């Protein structure tokens, strides 16, 4: 095989690394092998392009660049200004946003920037200054209550975790749950769908400062026009976390009422997942919040990562190409084919199907917990993650669900026919897995039994399914 540009770049990089720490080089190579051989169905994962990956491994990593374009606290940032400005320009054009801030290191960081941008006029409160001299982990619940009161006793209303929301939408273990007095809206117990009338009722009763839309495990479209109307009716700022479905917005699969950017005051996202970029975050906002958002560093963030911003610029440029819209549509087509294949085989799906990139299987019908199902599938070469379902009796650790998604397999080129075969593999593993027992004979939520020969057979079938669709085919490390 010829040493083309991509092979040469990655092979040379590993040779340089190997000369210093061969175990790291081995681990990097092993990760590529594992990803090539595994049926990756984690809804929040994807495969970035070689150009995006290579943009992260360069001299931008050595630069400090606190501040924003043209207003840095360090000299010599003219090249950082170039890549940050390019990333922001691509983001604005791609999403039709008035302002884009591309410095956040992750989706959680992007959410924190958004929260503090909304609270910016209160950030200099005496209570906050006093709290900053103590370790955050040492603050008691009474301390947090006093701090929230000093900040105006601010309130947040977001989707509940078991209905598909995210920890950063106000849940107590997360810093958002410390910053805000939080209440959740759930889904209809029969359909699993958002009941907008109930959201409106909760907003009228609770009167939140921030109404959060968006999700990490809700398999349907969300009507952001209605949520904005609800926010306006109670004087709330409407924030949308589109980390999971940003690629579907960028690819114009979600438009009109289902595109959050025209409706929200502020939108946060990751740049990986369905957007297929580097691991990182981003904030889009209306002009009135732009100045506060741009203060994300040092308000919330550590120093920007210029090498990751360079990779964001590359990935966002890729997403502006016409073929990305086709890719985004195929993500949804594949997810719906996967859902249909599971339903035909008797699986129970939350909401009965999907409108987006993910499918949520209630595995209690197989007599399993999410943790048992997740591990049994992993044993069989199928990578998923356990996830809560609405009103989950097993809680957030063991769970009763498995969340699967199609962005990564769609990147590899698999289509709807392969999704049906994937559904067959998943169903076979789950039907052949039995829950185990603890040493005292009580039912275990973690232990399970799966015939090793069957797991090996499914792994080989998964590999056969992937074989016609090689991952990074131009990269040869041999």
273 assigned to active site:
yes
Catalytic residue among 270, 406, 410, 411: 270
Quick check: helix, strand or coil at residue 367? coil
- Looking at 11, 36, 221, 279, which residue is catalytic? 279
> Are the C-beta atoms of residues 190 and 218 closer than 8 Å to each other?
no
Question: Active site includes 15?
Answer: no
In this structure, the number of other CB atoms found within 10 A of the CB of residue 31 comes to 10
Are 185 and 155 spatial neighbours (Cβ–Cβ below 8 Å)?
no
User: What is the CA angle 355-183-226, rounded to 5?
Assistant: 45
CA distance 236 to 211: 6
Cβ pair 327, 411 in contact under 8 A: yes
Q: Residues 131, 134, 135, CA angle at the centre, nearest 5°?
A: 115
CA distance 330 to 314: 22
State both tokens at 28: 């990097």
CA 186 distance to own-chain centroid: 20
- 287 burial (CB, 10 Å; 0-12 / 13-18 / 19+) is exposed
Query: Which entry of 36, 37, 64, 348 is annotated as an active-site residue?
Result: 64
Residue 237 known to be catalytic: no
Q: Can 270 be counted among the known catalytic residues? A: yes
Nearest in space to 405 (alpha carbons), one of 39, 58, 26: 39
Catalytic residue among 6, 84, 109, 241: 241
Identified catalytic residue from 72, 155, 178, 273: 273
Do residues 450 and 433 make contact, with C-beta atoms less than 8 angstroms apart?
A: yes
Candidate list 66, 89, 257, 424, residue with the active-site label: 66
List, in order, residues 6 or more apart from 112 with CB less than 8 Å away: 168, 175, 176, 300, 301
∠ CA 403-163-152 to the nearest 5 degrees? 130
Positions marked catalytic: 64, 66, 241, 270, 273, 279
């Amino acid at each position: 095989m010829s040493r083309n540009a991509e092979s040469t770049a990655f092979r040379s990089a590993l040779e340089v690394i190997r000369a210093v720490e061969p175990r790291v080089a081995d681990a990097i190579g092993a990760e590529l092998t594992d990803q090539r051989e595994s049926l990756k169905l984690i809804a929040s994962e994807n495969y970035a392009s070689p150009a995006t990956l290579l943009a992260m491994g360069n001299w931008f990593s050595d630069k400090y660049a606190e501040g924003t374009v043209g207003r840095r606290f360090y000299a010599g940032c003219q090249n950082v200004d170039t890549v940050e400005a390019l990333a922001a320009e691509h983001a604005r054009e791609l999403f039709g946003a008035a302002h884009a801030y591309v410095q956040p290191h992750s989706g959680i960081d992007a959410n924190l920037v958004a929260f503090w941008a909304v609270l910016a006029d209160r950030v200099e409160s005496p209570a906050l200054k006093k709290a900053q001299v103590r370790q955050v982990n040492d603050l008691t619940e009474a301390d947090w209550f006093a701090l929230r009161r000093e900040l105006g006793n601010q309130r947040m209303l977001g989707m509940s975790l078991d209905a598909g929301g995210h920890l950063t939408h106000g849940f107590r273990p997360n810093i958002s749950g410390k910053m805000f007095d939080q209440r959740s809206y759930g889904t209809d117990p029969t359909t699993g769908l958002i009941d907008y009338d109930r959201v409106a009722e909760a907003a009228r009763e609770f009167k939140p400062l921030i109404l959060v839309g968006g999700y990490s495990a809700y398999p349907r479209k969300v009507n952001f026009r209605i949520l904005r109307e609800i926010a306006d009716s109670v004087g709330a700022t409407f924030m949308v976390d589109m980390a999971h479905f940003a690629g579907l917005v960028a690819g114009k699969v979600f438009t009109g009422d289902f595109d959050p950017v025209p409706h929200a005051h502020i939108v946060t996202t990751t740049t990986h997942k369905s957007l297929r970029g580097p691991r990182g975050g981003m904030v889009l906002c209306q002009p009135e919040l732009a100045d506060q958002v741009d203060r994300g560093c040092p308000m919330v963030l550590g120093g920007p990562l210029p090498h990751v911003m360079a990779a964001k610029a590359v990935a966002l440029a890729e997403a502006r190409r016409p073929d990305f819209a086709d890719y985004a549509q195929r993500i949804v087509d594949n997810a719906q084919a996967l859902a249909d294949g599971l339903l035909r085989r008797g699986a129970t799906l939350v909401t009965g199907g999907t409108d987006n990139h993910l499918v949520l299987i209630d595995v209690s019908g197989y007599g399993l917990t999410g943790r048992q199902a997740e591990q049994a599938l992993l044993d069989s070469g199928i990578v998923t993650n356990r996830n809560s379902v609405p009103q989950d009796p097993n809680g957030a650790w063991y769970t009763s669900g498995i969340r699967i998604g199609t962005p990564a397999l769609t990147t590899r080129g698999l289509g709807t026919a392969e999704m049906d075969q994937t559904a067959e593999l998943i169903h076979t593993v789950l039907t052949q897995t039995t829950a185990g027992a603890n040493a005292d004979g009580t039912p275990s939520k973690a232990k399970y039994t799966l015939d090793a020969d069957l797991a090996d057979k499914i792994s080989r079938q998964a590999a056969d399914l992937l074989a016609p669709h090689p991952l990074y085919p131009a990269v040869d490390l041999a």
